[in-house]
Homo-oligomer: A and B are copies of this chain.
C-alpha cells in the first residue's frame, strides 16, 4: 500500500513536522500558492502550500479545480483560520487534469440540487453529497451493528420472486424473454413455462414473508436489501428502487415490536451524531441557509441537529388509530375545513396531511400509531379480538411521514386462511408461508424501515432522489 494518508486521519492525528503524502482532488487554488485539497474522507480540505517561485509554471497551470493530485511535503502547524495543520509541498504531481472550461462543477454559482441530479456521477464531489453519502454509510453500518449486538441473523431474502401476494400490479416483471418475440401457448397466452424461471417472476416489493420463515427457526432475523415499486409516483418521497430494513422476531408481540423499532431509530440517529459530527454540522448549516430563502412561517421550528437531539431525548408518542381519529376529528384544521380530506368517520386511511398534523402540530414528536382497521391493512396482520382492527403499527416522523410500517403477524392458521380467502389471496401460491403456521407456529412480529426516508430525516434533505446515489423513478434510469 502506498504511504498515502487520508485527510481525515491526518487532521485527527495532530502531528506536525513529519513528511506525508496526500492524494485527492483540488477544490480551490488561490494566489498560485494555496491548494485546498479534498479526498472525500471528510468535507474538510487540507491546505497545501506551494512554493510557486520554484515550481514549473506549466505544473502550476494544471492545478485547477477538480484535478487529481499527489502531494508530498512536510506537515506544519497552520496559522490560517479554521485549520490546525497544512502541508508545505516538496513535490506535486498532477495525476489527472480537469479542464476548467468544461468541468461542470467549475461553475461560480452554487449548482442547484436539480442540476446535480443530472450529473449524479459527479455530485459526490460536492460538500453536500459528500456529507450525505458518508452519513448514509454510517446509518447502514449502525443498523448492522445494532442487530448484530442483539444476535439477529442478517438474511438475504430473494430479489426475484414468483409471489406477488401484496402486489396489486405494483411489481416490475423480470424476464429473459426477447420482448419483441414473447412465446405464446397454443391458446395465445404468454408461455411463462419458457421463461428463465419457468414461471412469471417479479422484483420483490418486500422480503417480509421470506423473513418470517427465517424467524420461525432462528428467532430474530433482519433483511437489508433493495425493494421495488412500479408506481408512477413523481414525488419527493417515492423511488422505484429503494432499500428497506425488515426485522422479523419470533415470540414478539406488538409492544415488543414498537419498542424495538424505537430503540433502533434512536440508536442509529445517536450513532450518526457521534460518528459524523462535521457532516451533520455542515448539513445543519446547509438547511439553515436554504430555509433563509423561505418565509418565516414555512421554516422548520427546529434546526436539523436540534431535531435529531429532540428525537433522542423524547419517548415516541404511542396511541391507537381510533384515538388518533378522535384527535383529528376534534382538531382545528378539521373543524375549519382546512384538510383537503376532512376527517369524518372511523375506518378511512390517514392522509399525509393528517399524519403531519399529528406529528408536527399536535404531539410535536415522533408518533407510533397502532391498531388500524383491518380493511386498510394487509392480510398477514394479526387480528385483534375486537374483530375490527389488526395489530399494526406505523411510525410517523416529522417532515417524513411514515418511516416504519409493521405489525404483529397472524400466527393462527385458521384466522390467516379465512382472511386470505376474504381478500382473494391464493393460498396455494403461499403454501410455504402457511406451513410455518402449521408446524410450530408462534406469536411473532416485524416491521419495515424505509432506509432512504431515514437518510432524508437525518440529513435534513428535502428530496429522496438526493439521498440515494443513482435514483430510479419514472422515465429515469440514467447511470
Taken residue by residue from 138 to 181, chain A's Cβ proximity to chain B (1 for < 8 Å, 0 otherwise) reads as: 00110010001001111111111111000000001111110110
A41/B469 contact (C-beta < 8 A), A68-B440, A439-B98, A443-B95 known: no
Contact B439 A218 (CB under 8 A): no
User: In chain A between 7 and 65, which residues have their CB closer than 8 angstroms to a CB of chain B?
Assistant: 8-9, 23-26, 39-41
A124: B residues at CB distance < 8 A: 213-214, 216-218
A226: B residues at CB distance < 8 A: 156, 159, 225-226
Contact B156 A240 (CB under 8 A): no
A156: B residues at CB distance < 8 A: 136, 226, 243, 468-469
Contact A197 B137 (CB under 8 A): no
Taken residue by residue from 172 to 202, chain A's Cβ proximity to chain B (1 for < 8 Å, 0 otherwise) reads as: 1111110110100000011000001111010
- Of the residues B25, B39, B66, B137, contact of A154 by C-beta under 8 Å: B137
Contact A134 B159 (CB under 8 A): no
**Chain B nearest Cβ from A62, distance in angstroms:** 11
A121/B432 contact (C-beta < 8 A), A95-B441, A438-B102, A476-B198 known: yes
Contact B173 A175 (CB under 8 A): yes
- Of the residues B105, B130, B240, B251, contact of A196 by C-beta under 8 Å: B240
User: In chain A between 365 and 402, which residues have their CB closer than 8 angstroms to a CB of chain B?
Assistant: none
Contact B440 A158 (CB under 8 A): no
**Chain B nearest Cβ from A396, distance in angstroms:** 22
Expressed in whole angstroms, the Cα–Cα distance for A121 and B157 within the complex equals 11
A70 CB-CB contact with B under 8 Å: yes
A426 CB-CB contact with B under 8 Å: no
**Chain B nearest Cβ from A237, distance in angstroms:** 18
A133: B residues at CB distance < 8 A: 153, 155, 214, 218
**Chain B nearest Cβ from A280, distance in angstroms:** 16
Expressed in whole angstroms, the Cα–Cα distance for A452 and B232 within the complex equals 35
**Chain B nearest Cβ from A448, distance in angstroms:** 17
A317 CB-CB contact with B under 8 Å: no
Taken residue by residue from 225 to 253, chain A's Cβ proximity to chain B (1 for < 8 Å, 0 otherwise) reads as: 11010101000000011010000001111
A459 CB-CB contact with B under 8 Å: no
A344 CB-CB contact with B under 8 Å: no
Expressed in whole angstroms, the Cα–Cα distance for A144 and B148 within the complex equals 11
A474 CB-CB contact with B under 8 Å: yes
**Chain B nearest Cβ from A137, distance in angstroms:** 4
Taken residue by residue from 336 to 367, chain A's Cβ proximity to chain B (1 for < 8 Å, 0 otherwise) reads as: 00000000000000000000000000000000
Contact B189 A180 (CB under 8 A): yes
User: In chain A between 408 and 448, which residues have their CB closer than 8 angstroms to a CB of chain B?
Assistant: 411, 432-433, 435-443
Closest B residue, CB atoms, query A38: B217
A310 CB-CB contact with B under 8 Å: no
Copy number of this protein in the oligomer? 2
- Of the residues B160, B163, B172, B441, contact of A68 by C-beta under 8 Å: B441
Contact A103 B141 (CB under 8 A): no
Contact B174 A180 (CB under 8 A): no
Closest B residue, CB atoms, query A432: B121
**Chain B nearest Cβ from A278, distance in angstroms:** 14
Contact A151 B41 (CB under 8 A): yes
Contact A470 B440 (CB under 8 A): no
User: In chain A between 438 and 473, which residues have their CB closer than 8 angstroms to a CB of chain B?
Assistant: 438-443, 468-470, 472
- 17 extra interface residue pairs, beta carbon distance < 8 Å, beyond A70-B251, A198-B476, A210-B470: A1-B260, A66-B440, A96-B439, A102-B439, A121-B213, A122-B213, A122-B217, A133-B214, A134-B218, A137-B154, A140-B144, A158-B470, A159-B203, A160-B203, A172-B175, A174-B174, A179-B190
27 contacts between A and B (CB under 8 A): A1-B256, A6-B151, A68-B440, A98-B438, A98-B440, A103-B439, A121-B436, A122-B439, A124-B217, A134-B218, A137-B152, A140-B154, A144-B144, A156-B226, A156-B469, A158-B472, A158-B479, A159-B226, A159-B241, A160-B240, A162-B477, A174-B203, A175-B179, A179-B179, A180-B189, A210-B469, A210-B470
**Chain A residues within 8 Å of B, Cβ to Cβ:** 1-2, 4, 6, 8-9, 23-26, 39-41, 66-68, 70, 95-99, 102-105, 121-122, 124-125, 129-130, 133-134, 136-137, 140-141, 144, 148, 151-163, 172-177, 179-180, 182, 189-190, 196-199, 201, 203, 210, 213-214, 216-220, 225-226, 228, 230, 232, 240-241, 243, 250-253, 256, 259-260, 411, 432-433, 435-443, 468-470, 472, 474-479
